[in-house]
Structure 1
Amino acid sequence: MSTATKLSPQALAEACADAMWTGDFAAQRLGMVRDHVAPGEAVLSMTITEAMLNGHDLAHGGYVFTLADTAFAYACNGYNQRTVGHQASITYVAPGHLGDRLTATAREIHRAGRGGIYDITVTNQRGERIAEFRGHSRTVKGTHLPE
């Protein structure tokens, strides 16, 4: 029996997240923090810095998308199958501001075969909704941990 198959689902999700985090330089350099991972779930947070502001002095949508997309990645990669984004969309409902602590909460909606659907809500430190993101995943060859 492999190491991966000996782990509980929660321990497997955490081990996969740790393996991904090692090379996730984008998330690390943007100051993201993994607040929670579980099978089909992830919560990541990030503080909006001056470098993340657009010409309207608001959080650039690309950074909000990146946070949501990263939570999506950790939610769908907790089963020890390499999984990539196949399609994603985002709806911005309120602006983020300098110093806001944004939190992206991802949850699995459906997972079957090689595909999955995940909804991610981005909120600020006051719990106000900033964006809604939906991602479709596709598993590819490979694992995060040895089989």
Structure 2
Amino acid sequence: MKKKIDEQEIYEKHYKQIYKQVKNDPYAESLGIQLTKFEAGFAEAVLKVQDHMVNAFGTVHGAVIYALADHAFSVACNAYGKTSVGLSTTIQFIEAAKPGDKIVARATEVRRNFRTGFYRIEIFHEQNLIATMEAVSYRKDHYFIELDEQD
């Protein structure tokens, strides 16, 4: 009988390798997104809104807010070293932000199984909730880290 994989153990044992992989996101880096927290099934990312990130009305473009939320989601769903990709997302924009604002996205795992993961992402400016996103990940059979025989 095949031993059940303990993904919490994988996260703890391979934290540095997993963190290095999920932090290496050229698109997020190009926007200035910084990963500020990384835990099993949880991630927090921060972005200081620049002048060029606004729409025609002078508020943060929805695509920028989405990119921040998507990055936090990506990090959270890949925390166990198993290659996971976005399957679907739904975002709701609640309040606007402006250039100079620091916005924070927090992705929290709601539930995960062998094949899918469900996440809730909240985006804040200071204490104000400015957007929410529900996301589903597809978990591939592949681990992007080198697992030991004991894992």
Report what 1:40 is aligned to: 41
Of 11, 17, 40, the residue aligned with 1:9 is 11
Task: Write out aligned runs for 1:21-100 (5 A).
Answer: 21-22=23-24, 24-100=25-101
Larger Rg computed on CA atoms:
2
Shift of 1:96: 1.1
What residue identity is the alignment partner of 2:131?
A
Report what 2:21 is aligned to: 19
Work out the number of aligned pairs and report it: 140
TM-score (norm 2): 0.86
Gaps of 5+ in 1: none
TM-score (norm 1): 0.89
Task: Write out aligned runs for 1:64-143 (5 A).
Answer: 64-124=65-125, 126-143=126-143
Shift of 1:52: 0.6
Shift of 1:13: 4.4
Gaps of 5+ in 2: 1-6
**How many angstroms apart in 1 are the aligned matches of 2:47 and 2:74?**
15
Taking only aligned residues, the RMSD between alpha carbons, in angstroms, comes to: 1.6
Shift of 1:103: 0.3
Q: Is the 8 A contact 2:10 2:81 kept in 1?
A: no
**How many angstroms apart in 2 are the aligned matches of 1:26 and 1:136?**
21
Q: Is the 8 A contact 1:104 1:123 kept in 2?
A: yes
